[in-house]
Structure formats: structure tokens, C-alpha cells
Amino acid sequence: MSVDAVVFDLDGLLLDSEQLWDEAREELAHERGGKWTPSAQRDMMGMSSPEWSRYMHDRIGLREPPEEINRLVVERMLALYEQDLPLLPGAVGAVERLGARWPLGLASSSNRPLIDRVLELSGLAPRFKVTVSSEEVAHGKPAPDVYLEASRRLGVAPARAAAVEDSRNGIRSGRAAGMTVIAIPNPHFPPGEDALAEADVVLSSLDELTPDAIAGLSP
């Protein structure tokens, strides 16, 4: 079955931001008397904002309500992006190459204000036909909700769309949605061999993400 649309992840794939999320949350936890744990970053990777802010309240022990935790972290992330947008090498080229051939979607665990600002600052906003934040669906990754919603807004059946991902939860989200999954592992937070085994193809960099590479996945 041919691919009729491509849906990108954002954090860790186009944006070198996973460490920034980790730092922003950990700093807030220390400032507000929470107990940060070694597993916290991996636990929260892919969660929607309601999910990770609840995690920080319930598991890390911040006294602030989840809505306030979310607001404080997003404020920090916006300030960091305004100072220096951490686009990964090859991100703009990959989006432009694929956008010249297919309609593009974005399925991200980032909050809506962050998605919109990143695409504005990077100049990539016109390339994406639809963008979905996991805060706009019932469940974050690894649940399929955000990819299913992107597929619905694109008007393309999930089986005819490709998901481009970097993380364990992201790969599993795209797989659960029934999409063709292209993995480009994040070097800082590798997804693990078990998750990579669920991808249809694993590429080493965004430079390898070409129309031919995706077309070659069609039977």
C-alpha cells in the first residue's frame, strides 16, 4: 500500500529539545521541593502535558496544581526557544523534501503554544497541512491518539500514512495507529532495540529521510 501522507514528530526528531524538557522539569522540581528520580525523564517522554504535569504533582511531589506546573514549564521552554531554537541538523531539508511530495502532518507531545512558536521561528509552518498536540487528544504517546487525529485531519487512512519518530513511545504510538513507522533514533535518549524492532525502517539521520526512502517501503 502506498504512502499518501507523512506525519512528523517534533521533540527529539526535528528539535534537539528532549534535554531542555528534562532540564526545565528537573529545575522546577528542585526549586519547588520535589523529589526528582533517575527514571522521571524516560517516564514522561511522550506524555501529553496533562499527563506529565500530573506525574510531576503526584510522583515528583510538587505542591502546585498540574495546570500551574504545566504553565511554569512551558514558560521556560518558550524562553529557551526564543533565545536559541535548537533545530537538529537536516530538519529543515527533510521537511522541505518530503513536503514537496506529500501533505505533511505534525503529531507532537509538545503544548500547542510551543508547536506554533517553533514552526514560526523555523519558517516551517507553511509546510505542515495539520499539526496536533497530544494535549488535544485523550491520551499521549505511546497511545495512538495523536497520530490517529493527525491522520483524520489530513483525510488519509492511517494505513496510508507514514510516521517519522525518534523515541520508544513515539515509535509505539505510530505502530499502534497502524502507520508505516520510520525511526531515526535520538542519540541522547535511544529508544532501545525492542522499540526499534517495531519500526518498518531505521535511518541513522534526517539526511537519509528522502522521498525515495519512503516510497521504497511500499509493497
Determine the Cα–Cα distance for residues 91 and 81; give it in Å rounded to an integer. Answer: 16
145 is catalytic: no
Question: β-strands 201-202, 161-165: how paired?
Answer: unpaired
168 alpha-carbon distance from chain centroid: 11
Q: Annotate 93-158 with DSSP letters as a single string.
A: HHHHHHHTTS-EEEEESS-HHHHHHHHHHHT-GGGEEEEEEGGGSS--TTSSHHHHHHHHHHT--G
16 is catalytic: no
Catalytic residue among 11, 16, 145, 166: 11
Torsion-angle region of 2 (φ positive above 0: left; ψ -120 to 50: alpha; else: beta): beta
Determine the Cα–Cα distance for residues 37 and 127; give it in Å rounded to an integer. Answer: 38
DSSP 92: H
Joined grid coordinates for residue 204: 541513522
Determine the Cα–Cα distance for residues 180 and 99; give it in Å rounded to an integer. Answer: 17
Catalytically active residues, by annotation: 9, 11
